[in-house]
Structure 1
Amino acid sequence: MTAKIFSRRGLLLALALAGCASPDPALYTLAAVPGVPRGGAPRLIELRRVGLPGYLDRPGLIATAGEDRLHLMANARWAEPLGDMLGRVLQQDLSQRLPGSLVFRESGAITAAPDAVVEVDVARLDRDAAGAMVLQATIAVRRPGAAPRTARGDWGGPPQGAAAPAVIAAMDAALAALADRIAAELTAPAPG
């Protein structure tokens, strides 16, 4: 009889605890988006570690950022640190756009004397109050013996929904647009 009471209590306790458990988070990654291939870029291109503001350096996905408040998506997490993922996807985007070049990351295993160095500093990557994705960044392209080419801009657009896959697809598109701009800087004639 006592064993029956304990097993009922144990079952009730297990059910109560199961009701309190939160679901496993969904893990997401960014992905490269094909662009228009270009010729005339330097042969070896080093992509430096992407600069990222502290508010983005977290495992959770930020749904929106207001003037002074962040909103995280419930149970949605990055599968790898965002700064590393931005560098990896930018490398893939640039490699596809610049087929005659070898694009390698500063944080990777390859070391070579680059013909050009690309630096990216992200100031913002989130949705604005209207729901549009905003990627705000400054880029610099450096070549030996030449003044750096720098640019600052906003890339992005409205996601096709508020769920995590739609927001991530909008981030992918914004990152692809940034890669297009970097590829244009790398293939532009040297000033002077």
Structure 2
Amino acid sequence: MTLPWRTIAWPLLIATLLAACGTTPQSHHYLLTAAEAPLPSGDSPTLGIGPISLSAYLNRNALVRRSGSNQLELSTTERWGEPLEDGITRVLGLNLAGLLQTKSVVRYPWHPARAPQYGIKVHVLEMDATADSATLVVEWLVYRPADASAIDRQLSRQSSPLPGPDADSNTLASLYSDMLLALSEDIAATIRARDAQSPADSTE
């Protein structure tokens, strides 16, 4: 018995369409990285990283680019390998541990009875890229958790040129990591200056 060609063709067509719908582009995941440094050997100063917060448009796992002054492009396949807030916390902690040679680094929130000497609060205002450059804008605060007093508050803006309009996301992640290192160096300099002014603070 020979079946009409339409009887055979329709199921094949439907199966082909369903298979096409089930195929999604492969996702790629990226990490921010800390600078290489010798393992810290000291126990002072004690540092607390956080809280770290993000502007709402960055609070997602997709890498963000700007295609115009007020237009964003959110990649469907280029993603952070961890929540961006966690990645920034991790990198700042590792960078500062190396720069200040201290093993005493904790993440916010910490136990109130074991508050660190210095807390580092960061709000990321911008972290995105155009066809020409990558930009990081943050407001940061170094404070004393013991009494919540501010030591230094700054608004920092960094921008790094991209090698071309088709720069890949791995290049972006590397540039953001470099800018976080520069931010870490500024924060470390503030803490060193404070310790130099008040040596007693470093032994609390």
Q: Taking structure 2 as the reference length, what is the TM-score of the superposition?
A: 0.77
2:51 is equivalent to residue 49 of structure 1: yes
Can you list the C-alpha shifts for 1:137-164, whole angstroms capped at 9, x where unaligned? Answer: 1111113576521122112312345211
Q: How does 1:1-192 map to 2 (within 5 A)?
A: 9-20=10-21, 21-34=23-36, 42-64=44-66, 66-107=68-109, 112-128=114-130, 131-143=132-144, 147-161=150-164, 162-189=167-194
C-alpha distance in structure 1 between counterparts of 2:15 and 2:111, whole Å: 48
Q: From the CA coordinates, give the structure whose radius of gyration is larger.
A: 2
Deviation at 1:14, TM superposition (A): 3.1
The one-letter code of the counterpart of 1:73 is: S
The one-letter code of the counterpart of 2:169 is: A
The one-letter code of the counterpart of 2:178 is: A
Matched residues, number: 191
Cα 1:42–1:131, aligned 2, differ >3 Å: closer, same or farther? farther
Deviation at 1:65, TM superposition (A): 5.8
Give the percent of matched residue pairs that are identical in Structure 1 and Structure 2.
27
The one-letter code of the counterpart of 1:167 is: L
Q: Which runs of 5+ in 1 are unaligned?
A: none
Deviation at 1:15, TM superposition (A): 2.7
Query: Is the contact between residue 27 and residue 79 of structure 1 (CA under 8 Å) also seen in structure 2?
Result: yes
Can you list the C-alpha shifts for 1:119-142, whole angstroms capped at 9, x where unaligned? Answer: 1111111124x6211111111111
Can you list the C-alpha shifts for 1:163-188, whole angstroms capped at 9, x where unaligned? Answer: 11111111111111111111111111
Q: Taking structure 1 as the reference length, what is the TM-score of the superposition?
A: 0.81
RMSD: 3.3
Deviation at 1:61, TM superposition (A): 0.6
